[in-house]
Amino acid sequence: MKLSTKTLVGLVGLGLLAAAAAIGGCSGGGGEASPGNSGSGSGSGSGGSGGSGETSGSGFGNGGEFDVGSGTGDKDGGLNEDTACIATRLQADYQQRPADIIFIIDNSGSMTDEINSVQRNINQNFASIIAASKIDYRVIMLSKHGSSDVEQSVCIEAPLGSGSCSPVPQNPNTNPPHFYQYSLEIGSLDSLCLAIDTLNGAIPPKGEATSPGWSQWLRTDSLKVFVEITDDGVNCTTRSLGADKAVFEEGADITLFDIDDDEPANKNVAGGTKSAEAFDAALTAVAPELFGSKDARNYKFFSFVGIKENTPPTAPWPPEAPATWEQCRPDSVDPGTTYQVLSVMTGGLRYPIQQHATYDAVFQAIADSVISGAKLSCEIEVPKAPDGHSIDLKTVQIEFTPSNGGQKQTFAQVKSLEECAGASSSFYIEEGIIKLCEDTCAMAAQDNTAGMELLYGCSVNPN
Q: Please check whether residues 417 and 370 belong to one and the same domain.
A: no
For residue 247, being part of any structural domain is answered with yes
How many separate domains does the chain show?
2
Give me the DSSP letters along 115-148: HHHHHHHTIIIIIHHHHHTT--EEEEEES-BS-H
Radius of gyration for the alpha carbons in the chain, expressed in angstroms and rounded = 24
Least confident of 113-117, 142-146, 310-314: 310-314
138 pLDDT more than 70: yes
Q: Are 416 and 432 in contact (CB under 8 A)?
A: no
Which of 133, 75, 71 minimizes the C-alpha distance to 101? 133
For residue 214, being part of any structural domain is answered with yes
Q: Please check whether residues 381 and 371 belong to one and the same domain.
A: no
Q: Please check whether residues 133 and 60 belong to one and the same domain.
A: no
Domain span at 79: 54-89+377-460
For residue 327, being part of any structural domain is answered with yes
Rounded Cα–Cα distance for residues 199 and 212 (Å): 8
298 pLDDT more than 70: yes
Which of 401, 456, 400 minimizes the C-alpha distance to 426? 400
For residue 39, being part of any structural domain is answered with no
CA 201 to chain centre: 24
Q: Please check whether residues 59 and 130 belong to one and the same domain.
A: no
Q: Please check whether residues 321 and 386 belong to one and the same domain.
A: no
Q: Please check whether residues 384 and 371 belong to one and the same domain.
A: no
Q: Please check whether residues 369 and 403 belong to one and the same domain.
A: no
Under the phi-then-psi rule, with left for phi > 0, alpha for psi from -120 to 50, and beta for the rest, what region is 238? Answer: beta
Higher pLDDT, residue 87 or 90: 87
Q: Please check whether residues 110 and 197 belong to one and the same domain.
A: yes
Quick count: other Cβ atoms within 10 Å of Cβ 289? 11
Q: What pLDDT score does 59 carry?
A: 21
**For range 370-385, the mean pLDDT:** 69
Final residue in a domain of this structure, among 325, 356, 375 = 375
For residue 256, being part of any structural domain is answered with yes
Rounded Cα–Cα distance for residues 21 and 42 (Å): 16
**119 falls in which pLDDT band (50, 70, 90)?**
confident
Q: What pLDDT score does 74 carry?
A: 41
For residue 3, being part of any structural domain is answered with no
Final residue in a domain of this structure, among 357, 375, 393 = 375
Q: Please check whether residues 330 and 241 belong to one and the same domain.
A: yes
Higher pLDDT, residue 219 or 18: 219
Rounded Cα–Cα distance for residues 332 and 305 (Å): 8
Rounded Cα–Cα distance for residues 36 and 347 (Å): 17
β 179-182/255-257 pair status:
unpaired
Which of 48, 50, 41, 153 minimizes the C-alpha distance to 101? 41
Rounded Cα–Cα distance for residues 60 and 63 (Å): 9
Q: Please check whether residues 339 and 451 belong to one and the same domain.
A: no
**81 falls in which pLDDT band (50, 70, 90)?**
low
Tens-digit pLDDT profile for residues 179-203: 999 999 999 899 999 999 999 999 9
Q: Are 286 and 254 in contact (CB under 8 A)?
A: no
Q: Are 43 and 445 in contact (CB under 8 A)?
A: yes
33 pLDDT more than 50: no
Range with the largest mean pLDDT of 153-162, 261-270, 311-320 = 153-162
For residue 303, being part of any structural domain is answered with yes
Higher pLDDT, residue 268 or 215: 215
Rounded Cα–Cα distance for residues 25 and 65 (Å): 62
Q: Please check whether residues 208 and 183 belong to one and the same domain.
A: yes
Q: Report the length, in residues, of the chain.
A: 463
Q: Are 341 and 273 in contact (CB under 8 A)?
A: yes
For residue 19, being part of any structural domain is answered with no
Q: Is 19 exposed, middle or buried (0-12, 13-18, 19+ CB in 10 A)?
A: buried
Q: What are phi and psi of 364, to 5 degrees?
A: -65, -40
β 179-182/350-352 pair status:
unpaired
- Residue 35, SS3 per DSSP: helix
18 pLDDT more than 80: no
Q: Please check whether residues 283 and 394 belong to one and the same domain.
A: no
Final residue in a domain of this structure, among 321, 341, 375 = 375
**For range 417-431, the mean pLDDT:** 89
Q: Are 348 and 342 in contact (CB under 8 A)?
A: yes
